[in-house]
Amino acid sequence: MEASAIAAKLILAVTLLVAGGAKLASLSSFSATVRMFLPNRFRLPIARAISISVILGELILGTMSLTLPSVPLINQLVLVLCAAFIVISSIGYAIFRGRSCQCFGGLSQRKFDFLGVARSVLLLAMSVIALQHLNPGTIQVQLSSTLLLLAGAALLGASAFIAARAIEASARNLRRG
Amino acid sequence: MEISLYLAVAQWTLLFGFAFLVIMLYRQLGHVFGAKAPFKHGPPAGTRAESFEYKRVSDHTLQYVAPGGGQPALLAFVNPTCQACEELVRALSAAHKSGDLKDLRVLLLISEPATYLQISDAFRATDLEIGQILSKAPLNSYKVTATPLVIAIDAGGVIGASGAATELAEVRGFIRACFVPHHEPHFPDLPVVQKADAAH
């Protein structure tokens, strides 16, 4: 049971890091998607500011969730973020069905559809599982291990960023012939 | 040395995370390079452009595209939520202001709801005619698999060029293709020898 809670917590952390890194590489596309949810009077700079906040939130929460397993507040924040994902994917499904959600930036072609809502529900279920109280001995991490996990988180986020940017550059170069 | 359960699961999760990232990367590269396949995106040059109906956004009236009426046309299949389409609309608007689109019928065709036009500065600012597609027929006949897609049609109603464009230089290439007469091939499937015989 503890292993499933740890696995859920880690899968969520890795997902947030990949999503944050990939979105950062496609910031303008993600800002355009965010702007769809805002009233017309909100200009692109506001959408961009919200986009950067979301990306930073994902990267910071993913990194903290991976490196600081003994802080229960992080699990609760991840739960709130996953609940927000459900609200956004439901609104997207209702109003912007079939449009790109830019959930993983250029790394995927995910759209606002029923499967997107189902994926958000799955993430929320995993965040609920991750809330389970764990034996302190099971999640004990020494400073050297924390630093290694931090390096792993940075590497994963950077890899997602570079991969998404490479895909966007390839697409742009192909368009230009 | 014994490691905690958390670290054991963490290293495997990170490993699977990287593997997942590599799979996503290859999958997306497949999409990107697959889109370069000839004639997959837009109709080939030399084919006759099809007629279709659309609703003009400015006055909600039904209009008709009938290529071959003596006026070259530039059709741009675009959507307000597509960022590359916004770049194309900006380039077309710049070409319009500099007089490059003179003697040319230019039409921006959207398949998304007209209310989405409000979310895009480029679409709101353009003076070009915007039409909403009423059925999937033009998307199928013009092989619109992705936006933006530009179709250059000559005065005789034959497609001179088709493809994606986002910059003014690319738009000018399509404009030039509109003014070069393109002959529809009469025997596209016949071998060269038989075509030569037919000429005699």
Tens-digit pLDDT profile for residues A95-129: 887 777 888 888 887 888 899 999 999 999 999 99
Kindly state the average pLDDT of the residues B135-162.
87
Tally of CB atoms within 10 A around A73: 9
Q: Which range marks the domain in which residue A171 is found?
A: 2-175
What share of chain B has pLDDT > 70, as a percent? 85
pTM score: 0.64
Kindly state the average pLDDT of the residues B182-187.
54
- B125 close to B105: Cβ distance less than 8 angstroms: no
Q: How far apart are CA B173 and CA B152, in angstroms?
A: 9
On whether ipTM exceeds 0.85, the answer is: no
Q: Tell me, what's the pLDDT at B118?
A: 77
**Closest residue of chain B to A155, computed from CA coordinates:** B18
Kindly state the average pLDDT of the residues A41-70.
89
Q: Tell me, what's the pLDDT at B190?
A: 43
Q: Do A108 and B24 touch (CB under 8 A)?
A: yes
**Closest residue of chain B to A163, computed from CA coordinates:** B25
Q: How far apart are the CA of A165 and the nearest CA of chain B, in angstroms?
A: 10
- B110 close to B132: Cβ distance less than 8 angstroms: yes
User: What total number of domains does chain A contain?
Assistant: 1
Q: Do B166 and A29 touch (CB under 8 A)?
A: no
Among B15-29, B34-48, B97-111, B167-181, the minimum mean pLDDT is found in B34-48
Contacts of B7 in chain A (CB under 8 A): 141, 145, 149
Contacts of B89 in chain A (CB under 8 A): none
Q: Do A141 and B167 touch (CB under 8 A)?
A: no
Contacts of A152 in chain B (CB under 8 A): 10, 14
- A175 close to B36: Cβ distance less than 8 angstroms: no
Kindly state the average pLDDT of the residues B54-59.
90
Q: How far apart are CA B109 and CA B130, in angstroms?
A: 6
Task: Pick A167's closest partner by Cβ from B28, B83, B118.
Answer: B28
Q: Tell me, what's the pLDDT at B78?
A: 92
Task: Pick B29's closest partner by Cβ from A17, A139, A167.
Answer: A167
B14-55 confidence digits (pLDDT tens): 888 888 888 888 887 777 676 544 445 788 888 888 888 899
Domain B52-178 has CATH 3.40.50.1390: no
